[in-house]
Amino acid sequence: MNRNIEASTALMTDMYEYTMLDAALKDGTADRRCVFEVYTRHLPEGRRYGVVAGTGRILDAIRDFHPTQDELRFLSDNHIVSGRTIDWLEDFRFTGDIRGYREGELFFPDSPILQVEGGFGECTLLETIILSILNYDSAVASAASRMVSAAKGRPCMDMGARRASEGAAVAAARAAVVGGFQGTSNLLAARLYGIKAIGTAAHSFTLLHDSEREAFVAQIDALGRNTTLLTDTYSVEDAVKTAVEVAGPDLGGVRIDSGDLGSLAQRVRNQLDALGATKATITVTNDLDEYAIASLQTAPVDSYGVGTMLVTGSGAPTCAMVYKLTEREGASGRMEPVAKKSVGKANLPGRKLAYRSYEYNLAEAEHVVAGDEEALASFRPDEGWRDLLVDYMVHGQADTSYQGRDALPRANEHRARSLSEMPISALSLMKGEPVIPTLTEVI
Amino acid sequence: MNRNIEASTALMTDMYEYTMLDAALKDGTADRRCVFEVYTRHLPEGRRYGVVAGTGRILDAIRDFHPTQDELRFLSDNHIVSGRTIDWLEDFRFTGDIRGYREGELFFPDSPILQVEGGFGECTLLETIILSILNYDSAVASAASRMVSAAKGRPCMDMGARRASEGAAVAAARAAVVGGFQGTSNLLAARLYGIKAIGTAAHSFTLLHDSEREAFVAQIDALGRNTTLLTDTYSVEDAVKTAVEVAGPDLGGVRIDSGDLGSLAQRVRNQLDALGATKATITVTNDLDEYAIASLQTAPVDSYGVGTMLVTGSGAPTCAMVYKLTEREGASGRMEPVAKKSVGKANLPGRKLAYRSYEYNLAEAEHVVAGDEEALASFRPDEGWRDLLVDYMVHGQADTSYQGRDALPRANEHRARSLSEMPISALSLMKGEPVIPTLTEVI
């Protein structure tokens, strides 16, 4: 993207959000109070749970959602909205409330992941950008969490930038951390979110040099003995021998990027140990996914570098989250639950509460309670039910503790804790049903 | 993303590009002349061809690849590179050559899609951003092209913004045009690339109102009778009746977003015609892909709105393109072909020429000719072979005719022409081999 397009996030949206605003301003319905809900009707096939990610970025995006003069001119010149709407947009700021699942929280079908409450106009403008962020970031975090579980404590690192659109790569690195990853190759993500930047070297660096030895010497001269050398450009065995000759027994580590990774890791480990480099680590890469990682559990691997399958959600590159109007002020001025009746796509009317219940310290069910504001105000959950909703924004003011760098490790901790409370089949890579049922109740 | 991160594209890259630069500057190899090649070892399973997209955006990204002072400080403070490298980066500008397949060109396994020639340092810095753009944009354009073929002349529109990361959504809208799409819901893409902005209304707009009729009246008041009304919030039949009552026979069109789209389109067409709205169009949406579009060929549908499956590449959300060093200056100062020997991932050494040969006006084969600069200079293709390589940049100067808004319709025209030259099985949605073989020759 070029440098002048990020003045605001206000055009990162579908045209119809603006034309609906325009029509609603004209007929006087734009200020009707509304509750929109983000949820998904289903998890990707066979998945046991999903991981919410992106809410911190949504708070950033809403902060930056102010059309610039250039953007307003675009809307006006292209007759997308009328002059009245341009006036309304002049000093646009979202003034409503947002509550939802914490970043890192697990979600299931029909979990009310985010609820956006405010005037119709301000809520509808945010639809596309909220869904863009939640759908992609949660897809990556959900895949990452499965990989991290399969890695059983060995660190997983994001190396997927080259297999995702350049902006998505940054979002993916961040979402991977929510899913439990410990570093990223992507420098912009490292800079923006304080994620540990990691990297080794490419085959091109070895090929650039007249010999593999010269390449290794150059890398160690620049980065120190503790660096990780790439060993599969020519012969892995020769490379490992050269690596230890050049770096000595303090060699940091080696990376293997091709072949039968399990057998190779075993041979390389034995070779490194025989050469005295007992502390040198082994990183493996090469189209890893959660299944490949699980299959390497018995191999002497120290860390996993994951690319394509991380940034493409391991077969599920987007979630199926939607943004639906569930309650709105009617002509009478009273709030009324609403729902569309489209075949196969009907939604549960009314605002929602959400709780997780437990039995013997294990999660038992997701409880979604729907109703109007009054009914929900008097609802009392059973003892021990965990309230899943937090306030992200109140009257347009963001709770900044959910935003920025510090929110990221907390999101991962929350994910790890939520996952540890799940029945053990949550960790199964076999296809199956969501690990707990979602029970809905209309009051 | 927030507003201060797009100062340059220089950190949209993997850390190791910078650490390799650092090491190469230290040992004196950073200025060795290199030829890097972008290619893919295979198409997504069963695909007959791929479509190159993103090269225009690559020219933008290279233009904007100048580390800012803040970015240099980040690299320095985090000890990613040494002071010498910071100096080298101070006024970095790519000064090399880039040649490759035109945007919109079809590609096959081992097609030399892009070749980047220059000093090792400057070429290696661009690896990640070039791959990010080409891998995603080409994935979307490749899927789009199949959908457009399946639509047999009916317009396809991008409505996928909400199912892609917010920056990727913009790239997807653009790539979709390369693949033959005719409009996008995404306003930022419309603004940046001059793509036609399109849209109807969401179910929420109907639900906002006290009745469907009031919603339709409001939309027509604001947008005119020529607008497209969404008809599946409650009963499609009732909605179509109301739509024509409100708009009269000049109603622009209706959209159907759920249910059995073929049967519904047929019933709605008959109903519209009976009500005199014979020119009202029918747009269908709802998780369409090329197979769904093909299955609707006999239904009276006027246009297709495609979301998820477009922006996720219809099952192939990234291409498997890699960026490999194929030739470089050695210690002698002479250019030498190089290749890694990694198991299953070896590449063909040397720079490449690429041609397409024809028989009876149909493409017959992709010819990739590899060798050193001298050998290739004297290579003469057979008569009728089409040269597939164009010069994107010469000595750091971009050919701006491949960049910006005007390049986009030309890329689609080139795609359509290239596809029309292919054997008809290119249009088959059945899984199969690439429609023409890639023949490689080392000279």
**Closest approach of chain B CAs to the CA of A197, in angstroms?**
7
Q: Do B12 and A323 touch (CB under 8 A)?
A: no
For the stretch A101-112, pLDDT in tens is 999 999 999 999
- Nearest of A84, A89, A56 to residue A72 by alpha carbon: A89
pLDDT value, residue A7: 62
Three-state DSSP at B35 gives strand
pLDDT tier for residue B342 given thresholds of 50, 70 and 90: confident
Using one digit for the tens of pLDDT, what is the confidence trace for B272-291?
999 999 999 999 999 999 99
Task: Please tell me the predicted confidence (pLDDT) of residue B3.
Answer: 41
Residues A115-132: tens digit of each pLDDT: 999 999 999 999 999 999
Q: Do B133 and A165 touch (CB under 8 A)?
A: yes
Q: What is the pLDDT of residue B238?
A: 97
Ramachandran area for residue B301 (φ above 0: left; ψ -120 to 50: alpha; else beta): beta
* Mean pLDDT to the nearest integer, A75-97: 97
CB contact under 8 A, A202 and B127: yes
Q: Which residues contact B359 (CB under 8 A, 6 or more apart)?
A: none
On the question of pLDDT at B264 being above 60, the answer is: yes
Residue-wise pLDDT for A24-57, tens only, equals 999 999 999 999 999 999 999 999 999 999 999 9
Residue B341's pLDDT band, with cuts at 50, 70 and 90, is: confident
Arithmetic mean of pLDDT, B158-166: 98
Q: Which of B15, B64, B137 sits opposite A185 (nearest CB)?
A: B15
**Strand-pair category, A114-119 with A97-101:** antiparallel
By Cβ distance, the residue of A3, A23, A222 closest to B26 is A222
Contact A318 B74 (CB under 8 A): no
- Closest partner residue to A210 (CB to CB) among B78, B120, B331 is B331
How far is the alpha carbon of B88 from chain A, nearest alpha carbon, in Å? 15
Nearest Cβ partner for B223 among A23, A167, A339: A23
When pLDDT is averaged across residues B382-396 and rounded to a whole number, the result is 97
CB atoms within 10 A of CB A30: 20
> Can you give the pLDDT at residue A344?
80
Of the pLDDT bands very low, low, confident and very high (cuts 50, 70, 90), residue B270 is very high
**Do A36 and B204 count as a contact with CB atoms less than 8 A apart?**
yes
| Nearest partner of B234 among A322, A431, A338, judged by Cα | A338
pLDDT (mean) for A409-415: 98
- The 10s digit of each residue's pLDDT in B327-336 is 999 999 999 9
pLDDT score recorded for residue A347: 81
Tens digit of each residue's pLDDT (9 = 90 or more) over B11-52: 999 999 999 999 999 999 999 999 999 999 999 999 999 999
Cβ separation B204–A124 shorter than 8 A: yes
Residues of B in contact with A259 (CB under 8 A): 342-344
CATH for A200-286 (3.40.50.150, 3.20.20.450, 3.20.20.70, 2.60.40.10):
3.20.20.70
User: Mutual orientation of helices A127-151 and A407-420 as an angle, nearest 10°?
Assistant: 60
Cβ neighbours of B192 in A, within 8 Å: 2, 5
Contact A34 B208 (CB under 8 A): yes
Residues of B in contact with A237 (CB under 8 A): none
Distance in angstroms (rounded) separating the CA atoms of residues A318 and B425: 31
- Interface contact A135-B199, CB threshold 8 A: no
* Residues A263-304 pLDDT 10s: 999 999 999 999 999 999 999 999 999 999 999 999 999 999
Q: What letter represents residue A437's amino acid?
A: P
Lowest mean pLDDT among A214-228, A385-399, B337-351: B337-351
Residue B438 φ then ψ, to 5°: -100, 120
H or E segment and range at residue A358:
strand A351-359
At residue B346, does pLDDT exceed 80? Answer: no
CB atoms within 10 A of CB A14: 29
Nearest residue on chain A to B319, alpha-carbon basis = A163
pLDDT recorded at residue B95: 98
Which CATH superfamily groups domain B15-140+316-442? Answer: nicotinate phosphoribosyltransferase (3.20.140.10)
pLDDT(A3) > 80 = no
Alpha carbons within 13 angstroms on the beta-carbon side of residue A242 total 22
Q: Is the dihedral of CA B197, B202, B206, B207 positive or negative?
A: negative
> In DSSP terms, which residues pair with A386 in a beta bridge?
A356
**Torsional class of B162: left (φ above 0), alpha (ψ -120 to 50), beta (otherwise):** alpha
Where does A90-235 have alpha helices with state H?
120-125, 127-151, 166-178, 187-193, 203-208, 212-223
pLDDT value at residue B345:
75
Cβ-contact A18, A75 below 8 angstroms: yes
State the Cα–Cα distance between residues B230 and B17, nearest whole angstrom: 50
Residue of A nearest to B36 (CA): A204
Mean pLDDT across B311-325: 97
Nearest beta carbon to residue A135 from set B162, B170, B199: B162
- Tell me what percent of the residues of chain B surpass a pLDDT of 70: 98
Two structure tokens written together for A76: 């006006």
3-state secondary structure of B34: strand
| Inter-chain residue contact A340 with B207, CB threshold 8 Å | yes
Q: Are B203 and A342 within 8 A, CB to CB?
A: yes
Confidence (pLDDT) at B7? 62
Q: Where are the domains of chain A?
A: 15-140+316-442, 200-286
Given a contact cutoff of 8 angstroms between Cβ atoms, the answer to whether B252 and B225 are in contact is yes
Instruction: Output helix, strand, coil percentages for chain B, rounded to the nearest 5.
Output: 40, 20, 40
Query: Are A34 and B204 in contact (CB < 8 Å)?
Result: yes
Q: Answer whether 0.95 is exceeded by the pTM.
A: yes
**Tens of pLDDT, residues A360-392:** 999 999 999 999 988 999 999 999 999 999 999
CB A324 within 8 A of CB A347: yes
Q: Write out the two tokens for A79.
A: 């007759």
| Alpha-carbon gap, residue A328 to B208, rounded angstroms | 7
Would you state the pLDDT for residue A340?
87
CB pairs under 8 A between A and B: 378
Q: Which residues of B touch A168 (CB under 8 A)?
A: 136, 164-165, 167-168
- Cβ proximity of B242 and B233 under 8 Å: no
Residues of chain A with Cβ-Cβ distance to B73 below 8 Å are none
Rounded distance between C-alpha atoms, residue A388 and residue A39, angstroms: 14
pLDDT over 60 at A1, yes or no: no
Token pair for B35: 């030829």
* Per-residue pLDDT at B319 exceeds 90: yes
Average pLDDT, chain A: 96
pLDDT score, position A215 = 98
Strand partners, B190: none
Give the per-residue pLDDT at B360: 94
Asked if the model's pLDDT at residue A4 lies above 60, the reply is no
- The alpha-carbon gap from B90 to the nearest alpha carbon of chain A, in Å, equals 18
Q: Which of B199, B207, B343 sits opposite A338 (nearest CB)?
A: B207
Mean pLDDT within B429-437: 97
Give me the pLDDT at residue B311, please: 98
pLDDT beyond 90 at A343: no
Per-residue model confidence (pLDDT) at position B430: 95
Of B17, B234, B328, the CB nearest to A208: B328
Asked if B23 and A221 come within 8 Å (Cβ–Cβ), the reply is yes
CB within 8 Å: A6 and B11? no
**What pLDDT, on a 0 to 100 scale, did the predictor assign at position B4?**
41
Cβ–Cβ gap B14/A82 under 8 Å = no
For residue A381, the one-letter residue type is: P
Return contacts of B243-248, CB within 8 angstroms, 24+ apart: B243/B216, B243/B277, B243/B280, B244/B272, B244/B275, B244/B276, B244/B277, B244/B280, B245/B213, B246/B213, B246/B216, B246/B217, B246/B220, B247/B216, B247/B220, B247/B277, B248/B277
Q: What local confidence, expressed as pLDDT, does residue B2 receive?
A: 40
Judge: B71–A191 Cβ closer than 8 Å, yes or no: yes
Q: What percent of chain B has pLDDT over 90?
A: 95
pLDDT in tens, A230-261: 999 999 999 999 999 999 999 999 999 999 99
